[in-house]
Amino acid sequence: MGKRADKPVWQKKDLLDIEHLSADEMTLILDTAASFKEVSARPIKKVPALRGKTVVNLFFEPSTRTRASFELAEKRLSGDVLNLSSSTSSVLKGETLLDTLANIEAMNVDVVIVRHSAAGAPHLLAAHSNVSVVNAGDGAHEHPTQALLDLYTVREQLGKLDGIKIAMIGDIAHSRVARSNIWGFSKFGAEVWVCGPTTLLPPCIDKMGVNVTYRLEEALEDADVIYALRIQHERQRKGLLPTLREYIRLFGINRQTIQAATAEALIMHPGPMNRNVELESEIADGPNNVILDQVTNGVAVRMAVLYLVGTRDMKDGSAS
Ligand code: NCD
């Protein structure tokens, strides 16, 4: 009621990916997160923004940090929370994903957070239900809240996103984090570089508008942000990496290789990190690392997303 016409209003039922979000929509999420961040620093960490709303965490893939981050965000907004994982759901008894959602929806829930190994699973669910769906990671496709918390962290640290150089290093091919961040940082006018072994860089990645290099030195030169991605050991078994030692020598961020970067470059990692593989401990724990800030900001960003999609029906002019 009485909403000013010039104030941006969230319109979307779901948050499925970064590809289809505009910079203005992302800015609305980041600005909303900024107002929620302070809640987590209070002695009593709770606001009533989602009181009376039910949120279901539907996780079909293992997850610790993302699931915990969503659950804390839900609880700090006073939402009612239900956790379902593949090991406890009827999917194991042969139920389809759509039937699982139909059953959840029949219990009048408001928001479903979905993590699934199949790319597009959250999109399928969103298209077949009236419940708001938030993608918490779908296969190697997207991980939108991770990108939003990364954008938030960089904006908070550097005061801007436009014109910065971000170098993402490692397994780009299998990384939903990389894909979401490429969309996100590019839409804000950042210069995005990707670097890794040929086997871990998708062939047409340059079509996404990024700069591609196989030389770590070139990626790190003048970078404002160095973003290391987890080396997934399962990939090594599939022959995509010759040896871990060689990977560390060519792409590991350590005291020697970091010389190519400026002294102020931020060090980021989505977690879980393989210490002394993608980042040498000294760098991972060094003064420029913002890895735990990313985790802190993740709760605020997820609070913002939950609030925007979860209360969309309660706001003036939001239902077009
Ligand atoms: C990432 C994921 O699951 O996509 N982790 C996360 O959400 N914190 C990255 C990874 O697993 O390497």
Interval 133-141 mean pLDDT: 97
Share of the chain above pLDDT 70, in %: 93
Catalytic residue among 20, 65, 128, 235: 65
Whose alpha carbon is nearest atom 12 of ligand 1? 230
Given a cut of 90, whether residue 126 has pLDDT beyond it is yes
**pLDDT score of 320:** 32
Q: If you measure from the C-alpha of residue 58 to the centroid of ligand 1, how many angstroms do you get, rounded to a whole number? A: 16
Q: Annotate 47-72 with b (16+ C-beta within 10 A) or e (fewer).
A: bebbeebbbbbbbbbebeebbebbbb
Among the listed residues 60, 47, 109, 62, the one whose alpha carbon sits nearest the alpha carbon of residue 82: 109
* Best residue among 17, 65, 66, 141 to mutate for probing ligand 1, ranked by most atoms within 8 Å of CB: 66
**pLDDT score of 117:** 93
Length of the chain: 320
Across 90-94, 102-106, 220-224, least confident range: 90-94
- For this structure, is 249 an active site residue? no
Residue 4's pLDDT band, with cuts at 50, 70 and 90, is low
Angle between helices 23-37 and 176-187 (to 10 degrees): 100
Across 81-95, 205-219, 240-254, least confident range: 81-95
Across 29-33, 287-291, 315-319, least confident range: 315-319
- For this structure, is 93 an active site residue? yes
**pLDDT score of 86:** 76
Domain boundaries, the chain: 23-141+298-310, 144-295
Regarding predicted confidence, which is higher, 152 or 85? 152
Query: Which residues have CB under 6 Å of ligand 1?
Result: 65-66, 137, 143, 146, 176-177, 230, 270-271
Cβ atoms within 10 Å of 139's Cβ, excluding its own: 16
**Sheet of 266-268: strands edge to edge?**
211-213, 191-195, 165-169, 225-228, 266-268
Among the listed residues 152, 154, 134, 153, the one whose alpha carbon sits nearest the alpha carbon of residue 144: 134
- For this structure, is 66 an active site residue? yes
Instruction: Specify the pTM.
Output: 0.94
Backbone torsion region of residue 2, taken as left when φ is above 0, otherwise alpha when ψ lies between -120 and 50, otherwise beta: left
Report the CATH architecture of 144-295.
Answer: 3-Layer(aba) Sandwich (3.40)
Q: If you measure from the C-alpha of residue 284 to the centroid of ligand 1, how many angstroms do you get, rounded to a whole number? A: 17
Question: What atom in ligand 1 is closest to the CA of residue 175?
Answer: 4
Backbone torsion region of residue 167, taken as left when φ is above 0, otherwise alpha when ψ lies between -120 and 50, otherwise beta: beta
- For this structure, is 42 an active site residue? no
- For this structure, is 176 an active site residue? no
Q: If you measure from the C-alpha of residue 270 to the centroid of ligand 1, how many angstroms do you get, rounded to a whole number? A: 6
**pLDDT score of 10:** 95
The dihedral through the CA atoms of 100, 102, 103, 108 has a sign that is positive
Looking at every residue in the chain, the average pLDDT score rounds to 93
Question: What atom in ligand 1 is closest to the CA of residue 143?
Answer: 4
CATH assignment, 23-141+298-310: 3.40.50.1370
Task: Examine domains 23-141+298-310 and 144-295 and report if their fold is the same.
Answer: yes
**pLDDT score of 1:** 42
- Which residues, in sequence order, are bridge partners of residue 211? 193
Catalytic residue among 115, 165, 174, 187: 115
Tokens at 10, concatenated: 């969230």
The dihedral through the CA atoms of 92, 93, 96, 97 has a sign that is negative
Tokens at 199, concatenated: 């086997």
Query: Checking DSSP bridges between strand 211-213 and strand 191-195, what pairing results, if any?
Result: parallel
Given a cut of 80, whether residue 92 has pLDDT beyond it is no
Across 82-86, 153-157, 185-189, least confident range: 82-86
* Residue partners of 277: CB distance under 8 A and separation at least 6: 231, 244, 247, 248, 252
Q: If you measure from the C-alpha of residue 143 to the centroid of ligand 1, how many angstroms do you get, rounded to a whole number? A: 8
Across 31-40, 75-84, 94-103, 228-237, least confident range: 228-237
Interval 282-305 mean pLDDT: 98
**pLDDT score of 319:** 37
* Best residue among 177, 179, 268, 297 to mutate for probing ligand 1, ranked by most atoms within 8 Å of CB: 177
